[in-house]
Chain A
């Protein structure tokens, strides 16, 4: 699975958009970009995933560059409850495949 690089930490004001970048320059054609988050020692929570098209769901939007070497997770209106560690994970979509978590980006949303 391709390696990802994320900033260690970011701040965001409540109500503003939080844009979390991820670099995955060695991604291969059949690898997906997944985003999970972990709120203070709770179990990781699935947010969104994509292959090459931009994706949006009720939690977030995922923007993947045309060359697929980087992506951005967008939380359009961050709230205090979005304070968490956000993990960008690149992997193939095999049924039994494990997730390999890095250190992620610690997002702090402030009032």
Chain B
């Protein structure tokens, strides 16, 4: 079965540093998403992306966050200046008819 691939599986960074989380969605999918899950909490929607632009974003997705699909295969989430509270598991997802999630990137901000 095709799958959404995320790299790295773990990322440790210092507060204030920039991080880029990478995702390779399933190849014929058109809709892309980022979600996050803080340890012990619910899975939260961050942003959806379609036709090379953001279609919806949550309150969490402030100016520190950005997404990009630079080359038609990768889908990235950038956090410009990480904060301690950005520590979470970040899930990428893509959809054609059904939504498929990647296995996540565990981001730890120290």
Contact = CB atoms under 8 A, between A and B. Distances in A.
Contacts of A99: 35, 43, 45, 99
A25 to B, nearest CB: 21
A101 B46 CA distance: 12
A96 B57 CA distance: 11
B99 A41 contact: no
Nearest to B58: A98
Given A96-B50, A96-B56, A100-B45, A43 B31 contact: no
A9 interface: no
Contacts of B98: 46
Interface in B34-60: 35, 37, 42-45, 48, 50, 55-56, 58
B80 to A, nearest CB: 23
A45 B91 CA distance: 12
Given A98-B33, A103-B42, A42 B48 contact: no
Interface residues of A, number: 16
A59 B17 CA distance: 42
Contact residues of B: prevailing secondary structure: strand
Interface in A61-111: 95-103
Interface in A20-37: none
A44 B91 contact: yes
A71 B32 CA distance: 29
A38 interface: yes
Interface in B51-110: 55-56, 58, 89, 91, 93, 95, 98-104
Interface of A: 38, 41-46, 95-103
By Cβ-Cβ distance, the 8 closest A-B pairs, closest first, are: A43-B101, A101-B43, A98-B45, A96-B55, A43-B91, A46-B98, A44-B101, A101-B42
